Structure 1
Amino acid sequence: MTVVIVTGASSGIGRTTALRLAGRGWTTVLAARRAAELEALAGEIRAAGGTAHVVPTDVADPAGAGALVGRTVKLTGRVDALVNNAGVGGDASVLADDAAVRTIIEVNLLAPIRLMRAVVPVMRGQGSGAIVNIGSVAGEIGIGGAYSASKFGLRGINDSVRRELAGTGIGVSLIEPGFIATELTAHRSGLPGPEIVADAVERVLKRPRRRVVVPGKYRAAILLSNALPFITDRVYAGRAAKKHANTAD
């Protein structure tokens, strides 16, 4: 039995990833706030012959990480993989209110840190495991306000934890999607579906990698922004402030 925890499993990338891994024979532990959606997903997985456990979790709750990992161990006896997928977006302006900024940081950065802190001792005891953090291209190119800050931070902690756990048998990988068709991007059209991210997650669970950017076309944008940051400055100059001003009006 191979056990994986997927946070944010009630929709989008998390839901698709859970379905993909369950279809490969993994026992999935489904975590999110929306219990009804998790139960529906678990029913779908079981109907297809898979195994799923529902553990409703608010990852913004400081106690949620330990409770989720503890419940998983009680149910299955082990944790082979953790997919830190739960995330929220927000206003790209520095003028976003404090409550919104706190939520972004709690869910996108502090929750993955707490979950890794909870799961690493279990994986160390097993002598193996895999952690996958779902970042964002916005964690490479600063254009998303507090959202970018949270994903930059996630990239930093991912690198740090990967180096800390080198040689322990625990792989640590970062997946950085660009714009993907999910609830957060419903206003955009022509985007690739979450399957592209689920595929990347499956690949790094089998063979951990430092970073995977999907779709691959965003790698060029990251390289360009790093090499010639003034171009990104010009392209995005004033956009967030103007949008915030229009919203405020």
Structure 2
Amino acid sequence: MAVVIVTGASSGIGRATAVRLGARGDTVILAARRESELATVAAEIVAAGGRALPVPADVTDPVRVADLVDRARAVTGRIDALVNNAGVGGDASILAAEEQVRAMVEVNLMAPIRLMRAVVPIMREQGAGAIVNIGSVAGEIGIGGVYSATKFGLRGITDSVRRELAGTGIAVTLIEPGYVATALTAHRSGLPGPEIVAVAVERALTRPRRRVVVPGRYRAAVMLSNALPFVTDRLFAGKAAGKPAGKRGPAAG
């Protein structure tokens, strides 16, 4: 019985991931600020025969993060996996309001760092564990203002932590979604559901990979932007800040 922490578990990608992991027999520790929504997700998992523990938590609060990890560890004495999914978006312009900027940095970057700092010593002691960080294609292609900056930062810290922990038995994977169907992308049609990311998370926990871009069609855009950045410059000149980034901007649904 694996114990897995999933942040941002009350909706969207986090909810889909928690339900999927619960269905395979994991004990899912559900973390988010919305207590009633967490209870609903927990009930869905339990009704399907799984195990879930809802832990209302603000991942920007170090005290609440410590409590979350303590409660997760108390289940079996282990923490087998951490899925850093919680994220917020906002105005894609550099002129975004100060409170939006701070929120994006705290939730999208500082929270995953704090959670990794909390679970890595436990996983080292166990000699095993898995960390999956949910980034964004906006962390490869800079078109989302501060949102993109936080996802670029998450990509950097994920690479660094993976290299730091090489040989310890702890796997570290970055999953970078593009647009997926959530409440915040309701104005878009024809998008894959958040389950596509949940499947990628499950696979990463079973067979760790360095980085996964989903849906696959975004891989070509990432490769093009990295190889020929001037093309991206021309395509998005004057347009990158045209719309708010949403919960996960142009990526990570």
After TM superposition, is the score higher than 0.5? Answer: yes
Q: Which residue of 1 aligns with 2:22?
A: 22
| Bigger mean CA deviation after superposition, 127-136 or 180-189 | 180-189
* Alignment RMSD (CA, Å): 1.1
Equivalent residues in 2 for 1:1-249, closer than 5 Å = 1-241=1-241
What is the deviation of 1:48? 1.0
Using a 3 Å threshold, how does the CA distance of structure 1 residues 241 and 77 change in structure 2: closer, same or farther? closer
What is the deviation of 1:242? 5.1
| Bigger mean CA deviation after superposition, 97-106 or 57-66 | 57-66
> Which structure dedicates a bigger proportion of its chain to helix?
1
CA deviations on 1:50-79 (whole Å, 9 max, x unpaired) are: 110010011122322212101111233211
| Bigger mean CA deviation after superposition, 140-149 or 235-244 | 235-244
Distance 1:242 1:150 in 2: 19
* Structure of higher RCO (CA pairs closer than 8 Å, 6+ residues apart): 2
What is the deviation of 1:236? 1.0
Distance 1:214 1:187 in 2: 20
What is the deviation of 1:240? 4.1
TM-score (norm 2): 0.94
Instruction: List runs of 5+ in structure 2 lacking aligned partners.
Output: 245-253
Contact 1:225 1:232 in 2 (8 A): yes
Amino acid of the residue matched to residue 16 of structure 2? T
What is the deviation of 1:184? 2.5
Distance 1:147 1:241 in 2: 11
CA deviations on 1:169-219 (whole Å, 9 max, x unpaired) are: 000000000001112322211111011100100001011111000001111
Using a 3 Å threshold, how does the CA distance of structure 1 residues 93 and 126 change in structure 2: closer, same or farther? same
Q: Match of 2:193, SS?
A: coil
Distance 2:206 2:7 in 1: 19
Contact 2:79 2:119 in 1 (8 A): yes
Contact 2:91 2:241 in 1 (8 A): no
